Structure 1
């Protein structure tokens, strides 16, 4: 949970934070009506609905969140890549994703889609579980047969990454000349092992589910 902090010169921010404080504490006093009127300023109406098209949303369950993410993915009007995890057995395929650190058996992505990292890769540099980013490119080992197998690399621009950049990758490939992608980093698949029913299950997938909707999904 992130505590709201107000800009000293922004009256709306102050009013909003004060309203949240009273709401959290269940205070019903002479300011309640003022809080209600203040919050009505941000009510979604037919004439201002576009203002809220890209705001963060929090859904009551994962299925609603997934449906919204897929809707936003289609709106990108980009080719959609379905990434099917590589499993070493039917047992691995059917094991709940919670046992594989949130890795999904199937992930749909596209260039410019928003994602959330679901594992800690480099915590001191900002690549932490919950970090948000945007996929800037999807690289397959064989571009003529991209429907089979996982990509070699995803190029992702993370919001708060502060580590080194793979400039050498961009120098070697003409496809990135002048693209402005030098602030993206390459991400490869993750291998997770889990012992279930006496067998070692292996699960290979990208830890990057779609995240157009919320900072963190509500698990129910």
Structure 2
């Protein structure tokens, strides 16, 4: 609730602290009633038309797969990105996701560390099981790529393949290795997502929401109900989730 004596800057700071606490709780899939109300307040049906219009061009975050790195060596699975050749322990991927390159592949044409792009397609090896087996290629359209295209879409977009890379590094005095796509997720100003169904694997609700910078940048397609989500919410009354839009 807004405090009448707080400045807009103070209110934003309070909202930021609440959002950080909420995201931390969501990472564990454990929400308090207060956090649940915070999340429920971002359902599209509760937002006014002007607020909904802000999300017209927002990124739509849908259920994704987690690409888990292949690690060789003791304790290497816990090694952070910056200690493992800028390769992430896991990368959430779906068609349409915005990702950033974490190494220099071909600097002259724009495939360099920090280059941003959009996932066009994800590919498994022939005969692979998409449930159990890792991807072999992520097809990307990079924003500022100027080189030759692996394929060109009907509307002229240049698509290039990104393959997993290997990195050797030391954990203490032990030589270790990690294999992973040299990509990480990008934080967005605004996203639209749906956390109401179990299509989101355990932990992916956190992945989706953590892609946004602030609570005001999040809009939900549908309410989060305890019985239809992997998020644990303490027993209680949830009748306000069906309220109409705010004035």
Q: TM-score range by the shorter chain?
A: 0.5 to 0.7
Matched, 1:80 2:64: yes
4+ runs of 1 displaced by more than 4 Å? 178-182
Matched, 1:162 2:134: no
Q: Is the 8 A contact 2:66 2:92 kept in 1?
A: yes
> Quick one: which of 128, 131, 150 aligns to 1:147?
131
Instruction: Give the 5 Å matches for 1:55-204.
Output: 72-74=60-62, 80-142=64-126, 144-167=128-151, 183-204=158-179
Closer, same or farther: CA 179–81 of 1 in aligned 2, 3 Å: farther
Q: CA RMSD for the aligned pairs?
A: 3.0
TM-score (norm 1): 0.57
Residue equivalent to 2:54? 52
Q: Is the 8 A contact 1:91 1:201 kept in 2?
A: no
Structure 1: tracts of 5 or more residues without a match: 1-44, 57-68, 171-177
Q: Larger strand proportion, structure 1 or 2?
A: 2
1:102 partner SS: coil
Cα-to-partner distance string for 1:34-54 (whole Å, 9 max, x where unaligned): xxxxxxxxxxx9432234327
TM-score (norm 2): 0.51
Structure 2: tracts of 5 or more residues without a match: 1-46, 190-211, 214-247
The offset of 1:181, in angstroms, is 7.7
Cα-to-partner distance string for 1:16-69 (whole Å, 9 max, x where unaligned): xxxxxxxxxxxxxxxxxxxxxxxxxxxxx943223432779xxxxxxxxxxxx9
Q: Larger helix proportion, structure 1 or 2?
A: 1
